[in-house]
Structures are given as C-alpha cells and as structure tokens.
C-alpha cells in the first residue's frame, strides 16, 4: 500500500487569520517502507515572517523571497501525493494549511478521509504520555540529534520512522522478509521435484531360496523367545 508521510512549516498557527504555508516535505512509503521518493519545496508566502515562527523553523522572509508561490507548484504536489493516504503528526493542522492553499488556487481540497494522524495513533497506544514528535522519537529510540530546528522534510523523515514503530515496528520488515524467504524456498523445492529423475522401485521380496534358508536357521534355535508362554495345542 502506498502512503505519503508529510510535514509542513508555516508563518503561524491559523490560515484563517492570514497565516501561510512556507515549506512542505513528503516521503513516499510502500508497505511502510520508504521508497526514496520525496517531494520538498519552499514557498514564498507573500507576507512577513513573524519572529516566533522563524525561531521554530529558521525560515526568514529574505530566504523565502525568491521561492515560488504555492500556486506555481501545486500541480507537482498533487501529482506526487496522488490519491494515497496522507500521514502527519497532528494532521488536522497540516490539512488545514494545505486545503487553505488549495482553495486559494481554485483547486478542490484534500478529503480528510485520507488523513492518518499519528498523534491519535500514539494516544491510543500510550494514553497519558507526551505525544510531541520529539517525545515519541525519544520513546522509540529514533535518532534526532541532527535536528536543531524544525524542517518539513527532516520532520517527515522522523515521522516516517515513528509511523513504522507505531504500526508494528520492525516486525513489519521481518514478516515481509520471512514471507519472501518462504516463497524462495518453496520455489527451489518445487524446482528440485520437477527436475528429479524417477527411478524404478527396488525389488524387496525374498526369493524362494532365501525363505528356505531362513526357515532352516529358525529350526536350529533352542527355546526361541516367541515360544515363551505358548500353550501346547
């Protein structure tokens, strides 16, 4: 099954008050294994970058000033995500910004039925625990030492690893490996059987001479064990 794990960076918390999307990072997964295909883009929000937001992701207005608008890249983005489920941490936030940008471009919004929220998955597995991406990466031993600031593609990569752990962990890969190994063994055995040369059955019945010699030998035995307890007729 193909899924897209993604993350966004924005100018603030609410697109309804004028906040805009400034970065998106997507990672393609098939059967919970990253394929190596990614989509990553920065966007010019056509507005200033609040200091609070810049402190989180480090994206300044100057850095974003020569980047494309979302509308210029929307076709590429939609082609990449296709109709696959979309996995995000606190997914309602990211869906809100993507759909706001799509709406401003005159495109249909992405249906929330495609939304997979890892916060909700984690909440069911670890009720009462801290559910931030950082806290869950620590819980599952996912290395984030290279992460000094938030970044959409970097966070999507961490989330992809977390998603695998939340939905079965490394056992997923193990099961696939075992299944593949079984299929290979079955194929090899089948090949051996098909190529095997049939041999005629070996004769195993005793000849008349062998039977006579066996009876003569039995007659020489004194008090054989099979006669113990026998009652004379």
Tell me the pLDDT tens digit for each residue of 130-170: 999 999 999 999 998 888 788 999 999 999 999 999 998 76
Spatial separation of the C-alpha atoms in residues 159 and 173, rounded to whole Å: 17
Indicate the fold that domain 2-175 takes in CATH. Answer: Nucleotidyltransferase; domain 5 (3.30.420)
Question: Minimum mean pLDDT among 23-27, 36-40, 122-126, 193-197: which range?
Answer: 193-197
Long-range contact set of residues 31-34: C-beta below 8 Å, sequence gap at least 24? 31/1, 31/172, 31/176, 32/3, 32/163, 32/164, 32/167, 32/168, 32/172, 32/173, 33/172, 33/173, 33/176, 34/160
pLDDT at 223: 75
The pLDDT of residue 192: 42
What is the percent of the chain where pLDDT is above 90?
69
Q: What is the pLDDT of residues 220-231, one digit of tens each?
A: 877 777 666 555
The structural domains of the chain, with segments of one domain joined by +, span: 2-175
* Helix (H), strand (E), coil (C) string for the chain: CEEEEEEEEECCCCHHHCCCEEEEEEEEEECCEEEEEEEEEECCCCCCCCHHHHHHHCCCHHHHCCCCCHHHHHHHHHHHHCCCCEEECCHHHHHHHHHHHHHHCCCCCCCHHHEEEHHHHHHHHCCCCCCCHHHHHHHCCCCCCCCCCCCHHHHHHHHHHHHHHHCCCCHHHHHHHHHHHHHHHHHHHHHHHHHCCCCCCCCCCCCHHHHHHHHHHHHCCCCCHHHCCCCCC
> Mean per-residue pLDDT for 122-128?
96
C-alpha to C-alpha distance for 13 and 93, rounded to whole angstroms? 8
* 228 is known to lie in a ligand binding site: no
In whole angstroms, give the CA distance from residue 186 to residue 181: 8
126 appears as a binding residue in the annotation:
no
Is 9 annotated among the ligand-binding residues? yes
Contact 12, 53 (CB under 8 A): yes
Q: Looking at per-residue confidence, does 212 or 22 come out higher?
A: 22
Q: Is 117 annotated as a binding residue?
A: no
What pLDDT score was predicted for residue 188?
A: 45
Q: Does 204 show up as a binding residue in the annotation?
A: no
Strands 115-117, 86-88: pairing is parallel
The pLDDT value recorded for residue 214 is: 74
For residue 79, which phi and psi values (nearest 5 degrees)? -65, -40
Indicate if 150 belongs to the active site: yes
Q: What percent of the chain has pLDDT over 70?
A: 81
Express each pLDDT in 45-95 by its tens digit: 999 999 999 999 999 999 999 999 999 999 999 999 999 999 999 999 999
Task: Tell me if 41 sits within 8 A of 23, measured CB to CB.
Answer: yes
Q: Which residue out of 40, 126, 150, 204 is catalytically annotated? A: 150
Distance between CA atoms of 89 and 96, rounded to whole angstroms?
A: 13
């Amino acid at each position: 099954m193909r899924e897209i794990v993604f993350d966004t960076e924005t100018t603030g918390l609410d697109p309804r008050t004028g906040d805009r999307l400034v970065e998106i990072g997507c990672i393609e997964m098939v059967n919970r294994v990253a394929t190596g295909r990614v989509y990553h883009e920065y966007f010019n929000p056509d507005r200033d970058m609040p200091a609070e937001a810049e402190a989180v992701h480090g994206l300044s207005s100057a850095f974003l000033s020569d980047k494309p608008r979302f509308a210029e890249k929307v076709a590429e983005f939609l082609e990449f995500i296709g109709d696959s489920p979309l996995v995000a941490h606190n997914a309602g936030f990211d869906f809100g910004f993507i759909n706001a940008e799509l709406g401003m471009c005159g495109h249909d919004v992405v249906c929330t039925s495609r939304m997979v929220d890892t916060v909700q998955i984690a909440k069911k597995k670890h009720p009462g625990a801290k559910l931030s991406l950082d806290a869950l990466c620590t819980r599952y031993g996912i290395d984030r030492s290279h992460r000094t600031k938030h970044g959409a593609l970097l966070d999507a990569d961490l989330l992809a690893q977390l998603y695998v752990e939340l939905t079965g962990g490394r056992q997923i890969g193990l099961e696939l490996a075992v299944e593949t190994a079984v299929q290979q063994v079955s194929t090899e055995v089948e090949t051996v059987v098909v190529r095997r040369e049939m041999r005629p059955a070996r004769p195993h019945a005793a000849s008349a001479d062998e039977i006579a010699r066996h009876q003569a030998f039995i007659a020489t035995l004194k008090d054989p064990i099979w006669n113990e307890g026998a009652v004379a007729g």
